[in-house]
């Protein structure tokens, strides 16, 4: 009876070791793919809850000071404050949609826009909210690609207007464009307003809706569209 070749045994053991390592690596990667989005979602929800809780703190303190929340558990007081806020939002929305034809929404927008120092902020946030909530993309003319925030790094941007002549004269450029580079995944939280020479603003075959979806999904919608085209 012949003895097994030692080299063959070593080769088989090495192959089995590599197979086990590949399996472990694949299991780990699969676990990451499944758990990381979950944990990121949880962290975002916790952050959002903390933001809401901090925003409701003044109202909660007011409820305690006025008496309704005095002696109650802080969580119950915060729940009462949240109920009041959402109730107010609902009543305002109900009045705007089904109340008398008083153009309540336009009146509020006009009033806020006329407030010194606040009007421009309110107008910008209001327009971006229309894009997010109602899909109103008329504020943006087209999707562009700009080299931002550094050389060799390109970002999606939205063409908003032709740059005012004052800025062109100050920079010595003949023709410029004004673009908005939003933050992902929530453009309402802010972005960057850039005035760039026309030759540094590149065209891209995306609609405004597709560009906004790409921002809000951190690029996942673009990947899905590419996969759909290739199948």
pLDDT in tens, 57-74: 888 888 778 777 677 777
CA distance readout (Å), 113 to 52, 96, 122: 25, 18, 7
Structure confidence at residue 1 (pLDDT): 45
The two structure tokens encoding residue 26: 């694949």
Q: pLDDT class for 94, splitting at 50, 70, 90?
A: confident
Give the sheet arrangement for strand 142-147, strand by strand: 191-197, 176-182, 154-162, 142-147, 201-203
- Residue 121, pLDDT > 80, answer no
Residue 175 to residues 155, 165, 197, 203, Cα–Cα distance (Å): 21, 9, 6, 16
Res. 198: pLDDT tops 70 = yes
Q: What is the pLDDT of residues 171-195, one digit of tens each?
A: 888 889 999 888 877 666 678 889 9
The predicted pLDDT at position 53 comes to 78
Buried residues in 70-94 as b, exposed as e (16+ CB within 10 A): eeeeeeebbebbbebeeeeeeeeee
Phi, psi of 150 (to 5 degrees): -145, 170
CA–chain centroid gap for 99, Å, is: 33
User: How many other CB atoms are found less than 10 A from the CB of residue 121?
Assistant: 12
pLDDT at 202: 92
**Mean pLDDT calculated for residue range 121-148:** 68
Percentage with pLDDT > 70 across the chain: 69
* Contact partners, residue 219, CB within 8 Å, separation at least 6: 184
- For 202, the token pair is 């590149």
Instruction: Compute the half-sphere exposure of residue 226: CA atoms within 13 Å on the CB side of its CA.
Output: 7
Distance separating alpha carbons of residues 111 and 131, to the nearest angstrom: 21
Domain ranges for the chain: 1-99, 108-136, 137-230
pLDDT for 145 equals: 92
């Amino acid at each position: 009876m012949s003895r097994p070749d030692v080299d063959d045994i070593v080769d088989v053991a090495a192959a089995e070791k590599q197979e086990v390592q590949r399996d472990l690596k694949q299991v780990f990667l699969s676990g990451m793919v499944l758990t990381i989005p979950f944990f990121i979602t949880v962290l975002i929800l916790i952050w959002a809850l903390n933001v809401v809780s901090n925003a409701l703190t003044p109202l909660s303190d007011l409820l305690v000071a006025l008496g309704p929340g005095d002696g109650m558990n802080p969580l119950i007081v915060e729940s009462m404050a949240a109920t009041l806020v959402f109730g107010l939002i609902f009543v305002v929305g109900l009045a705007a949609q089904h109340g008398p034809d008083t153009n309540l929404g336009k009146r509020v927008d006009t009033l806020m826009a006329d407030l010194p120092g606040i009007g421009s902020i309110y107008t910008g946030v209001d327009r971006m909210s229309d894009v997010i909530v109602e899909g109103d993309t008329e504020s943006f003319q087209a999707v562009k690609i700009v080299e931002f925030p550094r050389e060799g790094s390109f970002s999606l941007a939205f063409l908003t207007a032709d740059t005012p002549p004052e800025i062109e004269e100050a920079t010595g450029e003949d023709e410029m464009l004004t673009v908005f580079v939003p933050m992902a995944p929530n453009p309402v939280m802010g972005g960057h307003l850039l005035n760039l020479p026309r030759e540094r603003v590149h065209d891209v075959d995306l609609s405004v809706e597709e560009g906004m979806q790409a921002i809000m999904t951190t690029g996942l919608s673009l990947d899905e569209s590419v996969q759909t085209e290739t199948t």
